[in-house]
A and B are shown apart, each in its own frame.
Chain A
Amino acid sequence: MIRLLLLSLLTTAVTAADSTVTVQDPWSRASAGAARVGAVYAVLTNPTDAPVRIVSGSSPASERVELHTHEHLADGSARMVEVAAIEIPAQGSVILKPGGLHLMLIDLKERLVQGQTVSVTLTTADGATVPITAPIKNIAAMGACCE
């Protein structure tokens, strides 16, 4: 009973801090063998009249979560670049997708297995949280954007 009460308190607390940012089509890819990295994609929508900045992320599945994009260099190569924040414009959306902005899971604790889900919690500049539960798809999946 006490545990239930605590749980409901905890849930209320988390809900109170939840951002108004909504998450559509979250997904991740199965990780390859012993690889310790993964990526999570989603469409983040901000229904409010003020821009929202996502400044960090965390996940029980990995030691770190970084906000990444790609930079294409003149020599035809690409490198991943960490971004300080992902800004979602007022009444707008940001698409996290393969080859573009994505959430990178660094130092995975366990392999990401197709058919399971991976949780990531994003934090906005004002401290609110955006919970994401991403179904893990096949390693070759491209997401709704590109299939």
Chain B
Amino acid sequence: MSRATLIIIVVVIALTSLAGAAGLAWLTTRGAPRGGDLPSQPAPGPQARLVLDLVDHRGERVTAESLRGRHALFYFGFTYCPDICPTELGFLARVVRALGPVGDELPVFFVTVDPERDTAELLADYVPHFHPRFRALRGKPEAIQATTAALGVVAAKVTPAGAPDGFYLINHSMSIYHIGPDGHLLATYQSRDGVESTVAQLRPHLENSVP
């Protein structure tokens, strides 16, 4: 590790701890979750099972039943998310490309946790930029909440200080959720593990599955 890198890391850690205190104040005083329609959920048990009844950005209904017998990946986010979501979707696209032919039939879904602002038109103009096969899913807040609750996905609405009227962001889980052919949560992946490691974790599941 170079000295410059070390300095940067130290600075980032220092800033983060500084920001931690500030951020706590920010959360409690200015950005407290407004207890909106997408509250936080506890972590899922080992037997977390997919609950799904949503519509993709082309208007096709997708349910847990319609995915039965197939592997599928899910990421939860929102298009107003300026940094993390494009970063994670870009990561997911690189994972799918790195999988090669075994990933060709793998459905990959971006589930919006912000159905209020993420219209079907907006989603249709968003997900294909990352990968032509990615599908965005939306639905009524209760339907999305049923899915996030079942998988233990966190999604909490926050309003930054001094933000314009009606402006908010959503703190949310960054994991990629892998649902197996039987509808159970098989694994979760994190972008910090890198493309190669994620592909190495994912590939055996796909190769062992009976077509």
Contact = CB atoms under 8 A, between A and B. Distances in A.
Classify the interface of chain A: helix, strand, loop or mixed: strand
A18 interface: no
Interface string B50-92: 0000000000000000000000000000011111101101110
B12 A92 contact: no
B164 A69 contact: no
Contacts of A30: 129
Contact of A84 (B18, B158, B161, B164): B18
Interface string A104-115: 111100000000
Given A71-B23, A75-B43, A101 B12 contact: yes
B89 A70 contact: no
A31 B164 CA distance: 18
A81 B23 contact: yes
B210 interface: no
Interface residues of B, number: 54
A86 interface: yes
Contact of A70 (B7, B14, B83, B130): B83
Contacts of A105: 82
B86 A140 contact: yes
Interface in A118-147: 138-142, 146
Interface residues of A, number: 54
Contacts of B43: 75-76
Contacts, number: 155
Contacts of B174: 72, 76-78
Contact of A64 (B20, B91, B162, B171): B162
A85 B11 CA distance: 11
B19 A78 contact: no
B83 A35 contact: no
A10 interface: no
Contact of A77 (B163, B167, B169, B172): B172
B15 interface: yes
Contact of A83 (B8, B19, B90, B173): B19
Contact of B83 (A71, A76, A102, A107): A102
Given A102-B83, A106-B167, A140-B93, A69 B126 contact: no
B145 interface: no
A98 B171 contact: no
A82 B12 contact: no
A81 B161 CA distance: 11
A89 B11 contact: yes
26 contacts: A36-B80, A36-B167, A38-B82, A68-B83, A73-B171, A76-B154, A76-B188, A77-B154, A77-B172, A79-B158, A81-B19, A81-B22, A82-B161, A84-B18, A86-B15, A89-B7, A98-B86, A101-B12, A102-B82, A102-B83, A104-B82, A104-B83, A139-B126, A140-B90, A142-B87, A146-B87
Given A72-B174, A88-B11, A89-B7, 6 more contacts: A36-B164, A68-B83, A77-B154, A77-B155, A81-B22, A84-B22
